[in-house]
């Protein structure tokens, strides 16, 4: 069973439009800050693990 494109787009659009009125600017700012912190921590841990992996492979 496959959904056709207009149905998928209608569902996604309806979901988006039902969420937008419930968001406040505080929620958006908090989400942006948390996403930034998460990305920085993830990148840092990846670099650390890559460095440790190189160190112990030799």
Band (pLDDT 50/70/90 cuts) for residue 58 is low
pLDDT at 33 (0 to 100): 96
| 4-8, 31-35, 40-44, range with the lowest pLDDT | 4-8
pLDDT at 3 (0 to 100): 56
pLDDT at 26 (0 to 100): 87
Q: Strand, coil or helix: what is 41? A: helix
pLDDT at 19 (0 to 100): 86
pTM, two decimals, is 0.58
pLDDT at 39 (0 to 100): 97
């Amino acid at each position: 069973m496959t959904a056709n494109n207009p149905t998928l787009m209608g569902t996604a659009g309806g979901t988006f439009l039902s969420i937008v009125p419930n968001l406040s600017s505080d929620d958006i700012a908090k989400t942006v800050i948390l996403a930034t912190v998460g990305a920085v921590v993830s990148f840092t841990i990846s670099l650390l693990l890559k460095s440790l992996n190189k160190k112990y492979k030799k």
